[in-house]
Amino acid sequence: MSAAESFASARSIGHDAWIGAARMSFAEGKEIYAQDEDADLIYRVIRGAVRTSHLLADGRRQIGDFYYEGEVFGLELSSAHRFSAEALTSCEIAMIRRSSPASGRDVQVDRLMWAAAGSELARAQSHMLLLGRTTAAEKVARFLLDVQARCSGDAAILPMSRQDMADYLGLTIETVSRMLSRFQSEGLIRFAGARRFNVVRPTSLAASAAF
């Protein structure tokens, strides 16, 4: 199963469980849940975008993932969150209480949790492959393709800062910026402002991603 398929299933399976779920709005930058906080809710992005991140003792930060409209996050299958979640943009979040695993009480929620768990695992595995053994150019190219694949409009939007991208990819902001400039100068992509871009030559960009 590709990451994209996994996201799709997380969107569709157990959809009914979200009907009538509690909703909350978060302003840009606000924390949705904290690292080490109890994890007894699961969340779904109704509108906006979310990042999960893990802060190390020395101040370094690893971004877990980015979540867009319709995607489910916050399921970590352990008692406490290893990552915190913050609103990248102003956003609206639905949340439901997770039933105890495999209790069989609420089949709807159980199915949702399995789909979410599968999605999370697929994401983490893809992310591992990305972080593990690639050059900066490959990382950035793959990231751009991923973002573009999940954007519906004619232009892809980057709801996150360069620092977020860097922390996601295990690079510095300078390197991310250089790669973006390089791809643009090579005519692979075109930016309209810092957070809005089009992929001009998808095949060449995919070749840079080299998977």
3-state SS track over 153-211: CCCEECCCCHHHHHHHHCCCHHHHHHHHHHHHHCCCEEECCCCEEEECCHHHHHHHHCC
CB of 75 to a copy of itself, least distance (A): 9
Return residues touching a copy of itself (CB under 8 A).
1, 6, 54, 56-58, 60-62, 64, 76-80, 82-83, 101-102, 104, 107, 110-111, 113-114, 117-118, 120-122, 124-125, 127-129, 131-133, 167, 170, 210-211
From DNA, a copy of itself, none, which one binds at residue 153 (CB under 5 to 8 Å depending on kind)? Answer: none
Scanning 2-10, 103-111, 118-126, 163-171 for contacts with DNA by CB under 7 A, the matching segment is 163-171
Which region among 1-9, 68-76, 104-112, 172-180 touches DNA (by CB under 7 A)? 172-180
The sheet that has 84-87: what strands, in order across it? 31-33, 84-87, 50-55, 61-67
Q: Nearest distance from residue 36's CB to a copy of itself, in Å?
A: 10
Which three-class secondary structure state does DSSP give residue 92? strand
Given the complex with a copy of itself, which of 27 and 124 has the nearer CB atom?
124
Among 163, 187, 198, 210, contact with DNA (rule: CB under 7 A): 163
Please give the structure tokens belonging to residue 71.
């995607």
Query: Which residues pair with residue 67 across a beta bridge?
Result: 50
- 181 lines the binding site for DNA (CB under 7 A): yes
The 3-state secondary structure of 113-162, one letter per residue: HHHHHHHHHHHHHHHHHHHHCCCHHHHHHHHHHHHHHHCCCCCEECCCCH
Stretch that binds DNA, among 64-72, 77-85, 111-119, 162-170 (CB under 7 A): 162-170
User: Taking CB under 7 A as the rule, which mask of x and - marks residues 113-152 in contact with DNA?
Assistant: ----------------------xxx---------------
